[in-house]
């Protein structure tokens, strides 16, 4: 499963180089499926290893780092060095995000920074939906840099897999499957967007907890 993630990323890069961008985007979407399945299979078969963790990160670098960067580079047609510098910055951000994740031995249920498995697919989906807009280049460059920043920020993102379990796996997955069947790219883009902005939704609860903690400290 992990190798198939890498294969899809490599295939997406070859398609991007040939200018077949829609199929390149679809290849990254397929890489998301295999990336989800490899972790699920490893846990179900009790085959989680350090080798698998490192190999998964290398495959993620190709599928969700280099492949989206190549697509962005192909679409930024500016006669300027920025057309390759911005994708290069994104690639570096993904590499640093994955290195940070592997070096972090904590067992927290949250991710520090946006996972590249969400950021990369979101960027390529924006390539698809915003391609006809007037300021496409500026929007794509801004989104790419914003995602690169979020991946290496201190913002906490909750594990989407564990959130599905708490929300009721059967009902949530059923709704998602219907949406993915009827409007696949639209549904996926909406889910990824909501996930990217999800920390904002928890600011109020965080501030309330922080207020209680400060009150307890002052009382003590």
* Spatial separation of the C-alpha atoms in residues 107 and 70, rounded to whole Å: 33
Q: Count of alpha carbons within 13 Å of 172, Cβ hemisphere only?
A: 11
158 phi and psi, to 5 degrees?
-75, 150
Q: What is the mean pLDDT of residues 77-103?
A: 93
Maximal C-alpha separation, the chain: 66
Q: How many other CB atoms are there within 10 angstroms of residue 90's CB atom?
A: 27
| Mean of pLDDT over the chain | 85
Task: Count the Cβ atoms, other than its own, within 10 Å of residue 102.
Answer: 13
pLDDT in tens, 120-145: 999 999 998 988 888 899 999 999 99
Global pTM value: 0.84
Reference 60, options 136, 120, 130; nearest CA is: 120
180-219 pLDDT per residue, tens = 777 888 888 888 898 898 887 766 666 667 677 777 777 6
Burial of 133-149, coded b for 16+ CB within 10 Å and e otherwise, reads: eeebbeebbebbeebbe
Pair of tokens at residue 120: 């990369």
What's the average model confidence in pLDDT over 37-55? 86
Measured distance CA(125)–CA(105) in Å, rounded: 32
Q: Which domains does the chain have, with CATH numbers?
A: 2-167 (1.20.120.1760)
- Please answer whether residues 42 and 95 qualify as being in contact, where contact means their C-beta atoms are separated by less than 8 angstroms: no
């Amino acid at each position: 499963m992990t190798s198939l993630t890498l294969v899809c990323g490599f295939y997406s890069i070859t398609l991007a180089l040939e200018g077949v961008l829609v199929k390149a985007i679809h290849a990254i979407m397929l890489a998301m499926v295999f990336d989800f399945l490899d972790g699920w299979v490893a846990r179900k078969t009790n085959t989680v290893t350090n080798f698998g963790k490192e190999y998964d990160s290398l495959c993620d670098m190709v599928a969700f780092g280099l492949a989206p960067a190549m697509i962005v580079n192909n679409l930024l047609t500016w006669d300027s060095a920025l057309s390759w510098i911005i994708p290069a910055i994104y690639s570096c951000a993904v590499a640093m995000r994955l290195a940070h994740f592997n070096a972090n031995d904590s067992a927290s249920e949250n991710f520090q920074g946006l996972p590249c498995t969400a950021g990369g697919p979101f960027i390529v989906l924006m390539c698809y939906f915003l391609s006809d807009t007037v300021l496409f280049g500026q929007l794509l460059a801004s989104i790419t840099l914003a995602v690169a920043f979020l991946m290496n920020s201190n913002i906490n993102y909750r594990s989407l897999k564990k959130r599905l379990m708490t929300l009721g796996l059967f009902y949530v997955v059923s709704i998602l499957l219907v949406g993915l069947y009827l409007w696949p790219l639209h549904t996926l883009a909406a889910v990824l967007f909501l996930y990217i902005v999800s920390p904002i939704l928890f600011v109020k609860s965080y501030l309330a907890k922080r207020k209680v903690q400060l009150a307890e400290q002052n009382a003590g």
